Amino acid sequence: MKIDGAFSGGGVKAFAYMGALEVLEEKGFEFVRVAGSSAGAIVAGFLAAGYSNKDIQKIFMDVDLKEFMDNSLLEKYIPIIKWLSLYFTMGLYKGKRFEDWLYSMLGQKQVYTFGDISADRLKVIVADLSLGKIVVIPDDLERIYHLSPENFSVAKAIRMSASLPYFFRPEKLLNRDNEKSIIVDGGVLSNLPLWLFEQKKSKRVRPLLGMKLTAPADQIPPKQITNALDLTKDLINTMRIAHDNRYISQRYQGDILFLPVTHVKVSALNVSMEEKKHLVAFGRERTEAFLKKWSK
């Protein structure tokens, strides 16, 4: 069965998607249009490029996430330089190794720009902090940044969407006012872009499945906020949860597969092979249970 899919962010928790995709492939589901924020944009991008679910799982299992930690030698060995760099560049790591890896993986499927992908096949969510808005790539590129969608790098779009604040340095794009816009993780403003497929005045073209790496909003326990870092983190989480809840209509509530990974931190790049396998198994288990009751 052909379906559309939206994938939320969640950093390394996204290994749970591997188990979910495995089950969906076994049950005969095939994604036509896909959208994603942050880590979800990586999965969506590989699906749009033509990778099979099995191939995506192998890519995820084989990658050494620590290879993406590309700070300079001075930053590596002199801690104060590292933190000064964070202050002035707004990120611990450059993100170039990550983008180069994406470029290489997508290039194996001859996908370099959005012109290499069928129209409407892939939507990537980023947050423009300078303009204070959600940006959909490639749809908004020409209108906001005067950039050609067909010539824009898919790898760069995904890297921007996965620019976890303070972790990867944000990208900068020249906007319509001829000023530099700061672009960060799409999950900051919309972690589950299910709303991209909402058709208020017409019947769905095909079934829609959202996949989210947290529990439903009404099942998330209260946060313990004890310091400024907790406040900043939970402020961002509250904003994006509120946005997605506002735009995900009641008709889509039953179309969201929740994969509430709670024991792994978003930025835990040292996740072991054993933990990866555990997350895959968790994704399988939750997806099998979901499909038994999903009314497509």
Residue 225 falls in which region: left (phi positive, over 0), alpha (psi -120 to 50) or beta? beta
Q: How far apart are CA 296 and CA 281, in angstroms?
A: 24
Beta carbons of 34 and 289 less than 8 angstroms apart: no
Which residues, other chains included, contact 62 with Cβ-Cβ below 8 Å and sequence gap of 6+?
none
Beta carbons of 95 and 163 less than 8 angstroms apart: yes
Q: How far apart are CA 105 and CA 99, in angstroms?
A: 10
Active site residue 267: no
Nearest in space to 186 (alpha carbons), one of 153, 213, 161: 161
Instruction: State the catalytic residue, choosing from 128, 185, 244, 255.
Output: 185
Look at strands 30-37 and 122-128 and give their pairing. Answer: parallel
Active site residue 139: no
Look at strands 166-168 and 122-128 and give their pairing. Answer: unpaired
3-state secondary structure 199-246: CCCCCCCCCEEEEECCCCHHHCCCCCCCCHHHHHHHHHHHHHHHHHHH
Active-site positions read 38, 185
